[in-house]
Amino acid sequence: MSMKLFFADSAVKAEPQDVVVSDRYLDASGRPVAWKLRAISEELNEEIRSASTKRTKGKGSSGVPELDYNAYLGRMVAACVVYPDLNDAELQQSYGVRGASSVVRKMLLAGEFANLAAKVQEINGFDRDVSEISDEVKN
């Protein structure tokens, strides 16, 4: 097999997906508005994970790194939402918050946020394990 199969220009690009996250946001015709979601690179995921990790007191002076899962999930969801633009200042102001991860939590009901988070994880491949992919290749 050729190594060119693994070059950047050979990789299939992950296309953004339209997903109805809530039936509470309606267009002029009364239909739910689809949100546009994208996959993120592992490089960006690592940045999000690092920004969501705090050092807690432990033995020694350096402390123990601890992931704040709620902060991580909020940042990851916000990074994957293309539309609506969660970084829009007017949108954030309308909800009385600052920051993309804060506004998405204000906009959605708990179940809606959980469903959005599940879809974000699916789009990013967290719902598949290596054995599942291996079985697909065999068939």
Q: Whole-angstrom Cα distance, residue 81 to residue 100?
A: 9
pTM: 0.83
The closest alpha carbon to 69, from 55, 53, 58, 46, belongs to 53
| Chain centre to alpha carbon of residue 120 | 5
Question: Tens digits of per-residue pLDDT, 43-57?
Answer: 999 999 999 999 887
What is the 8-class DSSP label of residue 17? E
Domains of the chain by range and CATH? 39-127 (3.30.2220.30)
pLDDT digits (tens, 9 = 90+) for 22-39: 999 999 999 999 999 999
Beta-carbon count within 10 A of 136 CB: 9
Strands across the sheet with 17-20, in order?
17-20, 34-37, 81-83
